[in-house]
Amino acid sequence: MQVLIRVLVIAALTLATYSSQANHMTEETIDKRTSPVGQVHIEGVALEGQTETISVATEPRTGEMLYGTYCMACHSTGLANAPKTGDAEAWNKVLEIGIDQLIISAKAGKNVMPAMGNCTDCSDDELKSAINFMMETK
């Protein structure tokens, strides 16, 4: 009798496991699990099901905005000899080459600073704005 009960329990567990896996492997559940988690929107191109395009503001970012996003980690602490924000003496030394040369240097990367401080879409004016913010802020 105990053997029969064990066989029935094993059979019931096997059927339950099989049915749960079968539901998990339907085309619908597979599509749901593997569907994209987001979409990329290119400015000026209508999204699927949308009849008009979305306009995105393209105003230049402020030096403060860029500083908070890209520069603060190193320039607030002087990490890797980065000139500290608001340290006039350090910035005056850096600016001995002139602001235009400094922009060229920032675009190429300097010491451990990556090219453009990782702001790959910054314009020259935005870089200059971030530098001016760091020079003037205390």
| Type of residue at 27 | E
Architecture of domain 63-136: Orthogonal Bundle (1.10)
Give the model confidence (pLDDT) of 106-116 as tens digits. Answer: 999 988 999 99
State the CB neighbour count (10 A cutoff) for residue 49: 5
Of 138, 108, 57, residue with least CA distance to 127: 108
- Indicate the pTM of the whole model: 0.58
Domain ranges, ordered by start, for the chain: 2-34, 63-136
What Rg, from alpha-carbon coordinates, does the chain have? Answer: 29
Give the model confidence (pLDDT) of 94-103 as tens digits. Answer: 999 999 999 9
State the CB neighbour count (10 A cutoff) for residue 131: 24
> From CA 122, how far away is CA 119, in angstroms rounded?
5
> From CA 104, how far away is CA 115, in angstroms rounded?
10
Which band of pLDDT confidence, cut at 50, 70 and 90, is reported for residue 51? low
Give the model confidence (pLDDT) of 1-48 as tens digits. Answer: 788 888 888 877 787 666 655 566 678 877 887 887 777 777 767 666
